[in-house]
Each structure stands twice: as C-alpha cells, then as structure tokens.
Amino acid sequence: MNLFKRLPLLNIQRKPGRSVALAVLSAFLAASVFAGSVIVSSLQSGLSSLEDRLGADIMVVPYSATTKSDLSNILLQGNKGYFYMDDQVLDQLSSIDGVRQMSSQFFLASANAGCCSFSVQIIGFDAKTDFVVQPWIRKSYQKPLETKDIIVGNDLNAFVGDTIRFYNVDCRVVGKLDKTGTMMDTTVYTSIPTCKLLMKSAYENKLNDFGNVDPDTVVSDVLINVDGEHNVEEVVNDINLHVKNVEAIKTKDMISGIAGSLQGVSRLIGILMACVWFLAIVILMVAYRMVTNERIREFAVLRVLGVSSRKLFSLILKEGMIIGLIGALCGVTAGALIVFPFHQMIESQLGLPYLLPSTARIVGLVLMALVVTVFTGGMAAAVSANRISKMDTGLILREDQ
C-alpha cells in the first residue's frame, strides 16, 4: 500500500506508547458502554420474561396470605412458601362477569432435609385449564405430565432423566426450562395431583403439616384472564367485592415495584454511562490536543512536503479512529469478560430479574459500543485535526525555532 496511506497505521505501530495510552482511554469507554448496556438490557429482558411468565391479568390468593407481599415474595423474590384457600372459590370466580380464562395452582415448598433432594418452591398447575405455565413448558416437554413427573427450572442442578426426591416421593425430571432470569429458574413445576401426592406423603411421614389442610379441597391461587369487553380493574374490584376471604391482584401491579426498581437501576447505569462518556470525551480531547501539540512540527513538515490541510485532517482523524477501534475492541472484550462470566453475581447483587439478552441483541450492543467509541475517538481527534490543519505552517515552523 501507498506509504502515505499507511502513515496512520505506521504512526500507531511504531509509536506504541502514545497509541496504547489513547487506546486504553477508548477501551475504558467501550467497556463501560458495553457492560452498562448489557446490564440494562439484561434487566429489561428479565422484566419482560417475568411479565411473559406471569401471563395472567389477575391473581386471586387467600386474603390471609396478606396478598401482595407474600405472593411477591414467592413469585418474584424466590422465597419458598405456601398458602391455601377453599377450592369452592373457583365456582364463585367463574360467575364473575369478564372472566374469560381461569386456572388454579397449588403451592408446596420442599424441605431442607433428608426427605428432599432440594429445598425448592413447587408449583402444581391444572393441566386442563392452565394457560400460563404450559405454553412455555411445552418448549421443553410436549407430552402431558404424568403423576410424579416434574419439570425443573434452569438454575436447579437436575437434568432430564434424573430422579428427585420430595417428601420421600421419587419424582422423574422430564424437562428443564429455559433460563428466565427470575425465581422461576429455581422452581419445580408439576401437576396438581403430584403436588397433592407430595402433601399427603409429607403428612404420612410427619415431615410437614402444611397447616393441616385437606389437599383435595384447597388451591393456592387462581389465575384469571379477562375478556376484551371488560376492564381488568373492574373485574378485580368485582372479585374483591363479591368473593369472600380472597384478594384479587392485578399482576401488573405486582411487578410494578420491580419495574420501578429496574427503572431506577437502569437510570443510574445510564447516568454512569453518560458520565463515563463525558469524561472519556473530555480526557480524549485533552489527550489528543497534547499529542497533536507534541507532533505539531511533524504535521508542519507534512504540509511542507505538499500534504493539503484536508489530507492532514483526514490523516489525524484516521489515526484517531483506528486507535478508537482498537481500544473499542479491547474494551468490549474486557466488558464481556466482566458481564458474561460474572452474570450470576451481578444478578444476585442487583436482586432483580436478570436475563442475558439474545445473541442478536448482544451483537447489536457490541456494534453500538464500537460505534460510540470510534465516533468519540474520531471526534476528539477531529477537534485537534481541525485546529492543526487550519494553522499557518510557516508560523509553526517559525515558532518552533
């Protein structure tokens, strides 16, 4: 390649100290932008996954469950628990106007003892009426669940074909769910008959009394979808008014706290990213100004040799952009080495639904970080390049004597 065209590359290669210093600044920017974007995106994916998985407009739980707090502890925070209400509530709910779909669930918590392989939340669903769990369970297991068949969340150390013991009942793992970034990753799903069987076994073996309820006459919650003609709020009010000893909750209200926290964390990360970007651009501009001042005589010599101000601008800009690109690639790699291997630690520190985005989205974030960094490096170089290219060469040579 033509020597003059290679000059930006040669300047970078043969002046490694200068190039590395500038590249490190760019890398710092790229790492912050990329890691920050991945974390914000993971939080958004986690919330969206939680919304998808909750999948119902209304949840009805026993009033005694002090509703939101207990329920969100179990469903959102990953705490283990159970509560029950009379299954006659199903008849009462079915008579409420606007109820389009309805399905009950049965909660159990396994014990942290010899009778159980893990201490986990177990959720039983009614296969005939369920419209929430089965659509996403079908991705990992298409057949109907037999008694003692279970499907495990992604974070549990169990695989298809394994046998897991709950209250001295051996259950067969028939499926493993995709990662959701929520407490559902540590939950076991099964049919209601299996839940009842486990509860009875716990009674018989005196392992847990579960409040001495009769498993054949209770449910834990009822999930409801509202038809298009009714407002969810109205149906919730109707249930709370007409069905005794239960509390109907809008699922959106239940996750609004999480959405709020997520928005807060995302905003904080966004502000940090903006600060890093602002600092990086200021530092890069100062650094480029210092570097170009140091090289001002060289630039004047290039003008003496017939390099036009436009060519000189382009040379400095090209050099800045190449350094920016090298820094950006290193920075994105460093960012990836933080956010991917340590994603579980980040998840537990944030305490919010956290699901790494899809590969396509990650590729998009990589490109975004590269573009932002190269643009910033280029811009910082361009400011100096513009100043240098407009200076009078004769004056530079004169002042440098």
Residue 32 contacts residue 348 (beta carbons within 8 Å): no
Residue with Cβ nearer another protein (105 or 384)? 384
Residue from 5, 242, 252, 267 binding another protein (CB under 8 A): 5
Least distance from another protein to the Cβ atom of residue 385, Å: 14
Q: Locate tokens 């100062």: which residue?
A: 286
Residue with Cβ nearer another protein (196 or 295)? 295
Least distance from another protein to the Cβ atom of residue 318, Å: 14
Least distance from another protein to the Cβ atom of residue 307, Å: 6
Told to check if 316 binds another protein by CB under 8 A, we report: no
Residue with Cβ nearer another protein (234 or 392)? 392
172 CB burial (10 A radius; 0-12, 13-18, 19+): middle
Least distance from another protein to the Cβ atom of residue 295, Å: 8
Told to check if 300 binds another protein by CB under 8 A, we report: yes
Residue 198 contacts residue 165 (beta carbons within 8 Å): no
Told to check if 240 binds another protein by CB under 8 A, we report: no
Residue with Cβ nearer another protein (2 or 157)? 2
d(CA 99, CA 15): 72
Q: How many CB atoms within 10 Å of residue 264?
A: 11
The two structure tokens encoding residue 341 = 């291997």
Q: Which of 198, 208, 79, 213 is nearest to 149 (CA)?
A: 198
Instruction: Give, as ranges, the residues between 10 and 29 that touch another protein (CB under 8 A).
Output: 10-11, 13-15
Instruction: Give, as ranges, the residues between 357 and 396 that touch another protein (CB under 8 A).
Output: 392-395
Strand order in the sheet with 163-166: 163-166, 169-176, 149-152, 187-191, 121-125, 99-109, 221-226, 58-62, 246-250
Position 65: which residue type? A
Residue from 302, 339, 372, 374 binding another protein (CB under 8 A): 302
Q: SS3 sequence, 124-173?
A: EECCCCCCCCHHHHCCCCCCCCCCCEEEECCCCCCCCCCEEEECCEEEEE
Told to check if 301 binds another protein by CB under 8 A, we report: yes
Residue from 305, 341, 348, 360 binding another protein (CB under 8 A): 305
The one segment of 40-48, 230-238, 270-278, 297-305 that binds another protein by CB under 8 A? 297-305
Bridge partners (DSSP) of residue 309 are none
Residue with Cβ nearer another protein (302 or 381)? 302
How many positions of this chain bind another protein (CB under 8 A)?
A: 33
The two structure tokens encoding residue 179 = 């990662």
Q: How many CB atoms within 10 Å of residue 257?
A: 12
- Could you tell me the CA-to-CA distances from 175 to 110, 136, 152 in Å, in that order? 19, 11, 6
Told to check if 400 binds another protein by CB under 8 A, we report: yes
Least distance from another protein to the Cβ atom of residue 330, Å: 21
Residue from 114, 228, 306, 341 binding another protein (CB under 8 A): 306
Rounded (10°) angle between helices 309-339 and 16-54: 50
The one segment of 36-44, 224-232, 240-248, 295-303 that binds another protein by CB under 8 A? 295-303
The two structure tokens encoding residue 305 = 């040799």
The two structure tokens encoding residue 261 = 């926290």
Residue with Cβ nearer another protein (11 or 194)? 11
Residue with Cβ nearer another protein (114 or 306)? 306
Residue from 240, 309, 314, 333 binding another protein (CB under 8 A): 309
Residue from 128, 143, 206, 310 binding another protein (CB under 8 A): 310
Question: How do 169-176 and 149-152 pair as beta strands?
Answer: parallel
Told to check if 293 binds another protein by CB under 8 A, we report: no
Told to check if 274 binds another protein by CB under 8 A, we report: no
Residue from 148, 196, 303, 318 binding another protein (CB under 8 A): 303
What residues make contact with another protein under the rule CB under 8 A?
2-5, 7, 10-11, 13-15, 295, 297-298, 300-311, 392-395, 397-398, 400-401
